Amino acid sequence: MTKPTIVTMPGDGIGKTVLPAAIKVLDTIGFEADYVYADIGWEFWCTEGNPLPQRTIDLLKEHKIGLFGAITSKPKTEAAKELSPELQGQGYTYYSPIVGLRQLFQLDICMRPCRSFPGNPLNFIRKGAGGAVEEPKVDVVIFRQNTEGLYCGVEWTNPEDQVWNALNTHPKFKAFADVPRQELAVSTRIFTQAGCNRIVGEAFKFAEKFGYKSVTICEKPNVIRETSGMMLETGKRIQKNYPHIELWNTNIDAQMMWLTKNPEDYGIIVAGNMFGDIVSDGFAGLVGGLGFACSANIGQEVAVFEPTHGSAPKYETLEPSIVNPIAMILSACMMLDHLGETEKATVIRNAIATVIAEGKFMSYDLLKLRGGPEALDKGAASTDQVTDAIISRI
C-alpha cells in the first residue's frame, strides 16, 4: 500500500493542541504517512481576507485526505471588523472554511458516531423500575447530508427584484407581501434527489456492513413537506433493497425528546444538514459531550476528518493544556477506517475505552470541573497525560 500524505489543518485555538496529540497516537500505532501542514482559519481571514486559502485547496486536491482541528467563526459584521486595516472595505465576506471545504469538494456524507464508553462519568443515565439506575448503551451513527439544505448558502437580505418576484409567485408568501424588502431575510432549504439517494444509500450500506438493525429518517415531513418528504420517500424506496433492516421515521422535535428516553433503540440516523447537526449534538451529549464527538466528511474523491467541537480560544494558551483530545483521536480513527486500517483504529478505540474504564487519567470535562489551570490541581489530567495514557494502553 502506498504511504498516504495527510493534509493537516490545525486551524484555530485548541485545534493546534489536539491535532498533534492525534498524530502522536497515530505514530505509536505504526500508521505510516507523510504529513503536510496547511493554512486554514481565523488568522488567514484577518490577514488575507480568506480563511480557506487557495494553497490549502490545492493540497487537498493533490492528496485527497485531510485531518482538521477546529476553527473560530463569528457573525458577518463582527468578522468584518477584525480584518486587517488594509483589507477593510474591500468587499471581503467571511464564510466558514469547513463549510467551504464541504461544498468545494462535495463532501456530501457527514458521519458522526455517538458511542458510549463504559465508565465515562458523563454517560447518560436514567431511572429504571423500582428506582434502579440504568446506563443504556448508546451506539448511534448519524449520517448528515453535508452540502445541501439550510447550509447551502442560498440566502438573501433585501432580496433583489428577480428573487422578490419569484417569491411572490408562491401563495404562502402572501403573508409577507407587506413586509418592506429591506426588512426581509430569506434562507432556502434545498434538497436534491441525487443528494438524498447518496446519503440514504450510504446509510443502509453502513448498517448492513456493521450489523445495525434499523435506519431512521429524522426529518419533519408533516410540515416541511417537499424537502423532508423527498428524504423520507427515498428511504422507503432504498429500504426495499434491505428488507432485513427496518426503516423508521421520526420528526426532529420528537427525536430530541426520545433520545433521552430510549437512546439504545436507535442505530443509524439519516437527516438533512441542519437537523443532522442538531440530532448529532443531542446524541453526543449522551456519550460525554463534544469531547468525544468525532466526524468524517466524505466525498467521491476527498475526505476530511474532524472533531465537532469548537476552537475554545480561552484554553489555547493554557500551559499545560487541559483540553480533552479524545474527539480528535477518534476522528483520526475514522480516517484509519477510511484508509482500510481498521485493525489499527480498533486498537486505538480499545485503548481509549481502557483509559476511560480505569478512570485514572480524566480530563477536566469528565470530572465536571470548571476549565482553567486550577482544574489540574483538582485532579484533572492534562491533554498530554490523557494522550500518553492512551498510548501506554496501545
Q: Is residue 301 part of a domain?
A: yes
User: H helices within the chain, ranges in order?
Assistant: 15-29, 42-48, 54-63, 76-81, 97-104, 161-167, 193-210, 227-239, 252-258, 273-284, 326-338, 342-358, 374-377, 383-393
Q: Is residue 117 part of a domain?
A: no
Q: How many domains does the chain have?
A: 3
Residues 259, 130 share a domain: yes
Residues 230, 217 share a domain: yes
CA dihedral 168, 174, 175, 178 (to 10 degrees): 80
Residues 386, 374 share a domain: yes
pTM: 0.91
The cell numbers describing 197, all together, are: 439517494
Residues 220, 197 share a domain: yes
Q: Is residue 248 part of a domain?
A: yes
Cα separation, 386 vs 322, whole angstroms = 9
Would you state the pLDDT for residue 95?
Answer: 87
Residues 35, 23 share a domain: yes
CA nearest to 65, candidates 105, 113, 21, 12: 105
Residues 275, 133 share a domain: yes
Residues 87, 166 share a domain: no
Residues 95, 31 share a domain: yes
User: pLDDT tens string for the chain (394 positions)?
Assistant: 689 999 999 999 999 999 999 999 999 999 999 999 999 999 999 999 999 999 999 999 999 999 999 999 888 889 999 999 999 989 898 988 998 999 999 999 999 999 999 999 999 999 988 989 999 999 999 999 999 999 888 999 999 999 999 999 999 999 998 999 999 999 999 999 999 999 999 999 999 999 999 999 999 999 999 999 999 999 999 999 999 999 999 999 999 999 999 999 999 999 999 999 999 999 999 999 989 999 999 999 999 999 999 999 889 889 999 999 999 999 999 999 999 999 999 999 999 999 999 999 999 999 999 998 899 999 999 999 999 999 999 9
Torsions phi, psi of 309, nearest 5? Answer: -75, 165
Residues 277, 134 share a domain: yes
Residue pair 65/371 in contact (Cβ under 8 Å)? The answer is no
Q: Is residue 291 part of a domain?
A: no
Residues 338, 311 share a domain: yes
End-to-end CA distance of the chain: 23
Domain containing residue 271: CATH number? 3.40.718.10
Residues 261, 316 share a domain: no
Q: Is residue 115 part of a domain?
A: no
Quote the domain boundaries for residue 239: 124-152+192-286
For 112, which DSSP code? E
Would you state the pLDDT for residue 1?
Answer: 62
Q: Which residue has the cell 453526543?
A: 284
The cell numbers describing 152, all together, are: 447551502
Instruction: Choose the final residue of a domain: 244, 260, 286.
Output: 286
Instruction: Choose the final residue of a domain: 187, 206, 238.
Output: 187
Would you state the pLDDT for residue 74?
Answer: 87
Instruction: Choose the final residue of a domain: 286, 318, 337.
Output: 286
Residues 167, 70 share a domain: no
